[in-house]
Amino acid sequence: MAACAAGTAVAALAACGGGSTVDSGGGGGAGAGAGGGGTAAQVRAGYVSAIDQIGLPIGVEGGHFEDQGLTVKLAQPFPTGVDLLNALQSGEVDVVQVGTPAIGAAQKGVDLVVLGNYTGSSTQRSIDETMAVVTRDASIKGDDLGTLRGKRIGVSIGSINHLYLLGLLQKAGLKTADVKIVNTGPPDMGVALQTGGIDAAVVWDPWPITITGQVQGAREVLRGGGYIPFIGYLVTTRAYAEKNPDVLERFLTARATVDQWMRKNPDQAAEAATRWLPGTKADVARQAMRHNTKQLDPRMSVCNYLALDTIARMLAGQGAVKPGFDVGKYFRPGPILNVMAKRPALFDDLPRVPAGAEVKDGHQYERGAAERACPAS
């Protein structure tokens, strides 16, 4: 079924993805094994309409979940990660793709667990290749972050681009008081830059590419650099994970399969993305996908624990979440570790997990040990 990934969305769903649908079918639960007879297990999955979350719908389009004996029902894309988590808590979906909002949700009582990654790195502390700084101001230099001093900088407060800015300021030896932070949604950043409302936009793909193409004189002065860990997790409830370990292992096998296909075929993945992200131009999708695939590492290691801990501490420092987030409480690596052991070929194009960074189910997280095991970048 994986060969179907290059077809059109409608054709692929009809001809290839008989076991996976959009807004049809029933709820989650155990069913037939991969390749077995009988009724396929059903999983209701949720995602945000964004280039770094596109692996889930591409997996549906390509029939990868069906190959694992699963019927995956995709909810219509949610506007934010907070909306995703509300749907998870209410039982509307079984598995979601979400990043930083998971921390606040867990602290507010959502009994969630982290199963794996849709973006991130199991081999280093920080990866942020999908983040960039865009400006029209000739005085702002990517190789001299001190030039941000006194500038009006557009970010989405509390989101990952806000944290990326904090990482840049820390590297430059600047405080947040040394700049003017302007709370700006990504769709509004181009206009804000054009009209002088902000001097620079700090944002994730595809917006840097879109803005430079639309705003006269705008240029990308910095991309990535390893200033923060960009996190994005596959998350479910603890109750669902305890009831459906085999279903989740098969789900993660399918996700790992499509991630590898995307890493090896970024232009085809970009073409698929344009079908699932209305209004996304093909050239923008291609550029964004080449950055996105650098962060497609679904494996689990202590580096992923460290990444979540680092982001939680950064958010706590801004008063966005409570301090003392117990990272180890929320990771459930067993299913993805099984995939890593049974299907090593799905990861043979990725760098090796560093010695000492390997985890087992029930891993006891200790930050100092994780920092020693995981290189900075």
What does the pLDDT read at residue 368? 97
Domains of the chain: 2-125+230-373 (3.40.190.10), 131-223 (3.40.190.10)
Instruction: Report residue 131: phi and psi, to 5°.
Output: -105, 145
Relative to beta strand 41-46, strand 70-74 is parallel
Q: Are 84 and 98 in contact (CB under 8 A)?
A: yes
Burial string for 76-88 (b: 16+ CB within 10 Å, else e) reads: ebbeebebbbbbb
Mean pLDDT of the 54-66 span: 97
Q: What pLDDT, in 10s, does the model give residues 73-132? A: 999 999 889 999 999 999 999 999 999 999 999 999 999 999 999 999 999 999 999 999
Mean pLDDT of the chain: 90
Q: Which is more confident, 6 or 258?
A: 258
pLDDT of residue 12: 34
Confidence of residue 158 (pLDDT cuts 50, 70, 90): confident
Residue 49, pLDDT score: 87
Phi, psi of 67, rounded to the nearest 5 degrees: -60, -25
Which letter, b or e, does each residue of 34-66 get, where b requires 16 or more Cβ atoms within 10 Å of its Cβ?
beeeeebbbbbbbbbebbbbbbbbbbbbbbbbb
The 10s digit of each residue's pLDDT in 267-292 is 999 999 999 998 899 999 999 999 99
293, pLDDT greater than 50: yes
Residues 6+ apart with CB under 8 A from 160: 99, 100, 131, 204, 228, 230, 231, 311
pTM attached to this predicted model: 0.88
**What is the token pair recorded at 176?**
């947040």
* Helix-, strand-, coil-residue percentages of the chain, each rounded to 5: 45, 15, 35
pLDDT at 304: 98
Cβ contact 48:19 at 8 Å: no
Q: Residue 62 — pLDDT band, cuts 50, 70, 90?
A: very high
DSSP assignment of 248-293, as one string? HHHHHHHHHHHHHHHHH-HHHHHHHHHHHSTT--HHHHHHHHHHHG
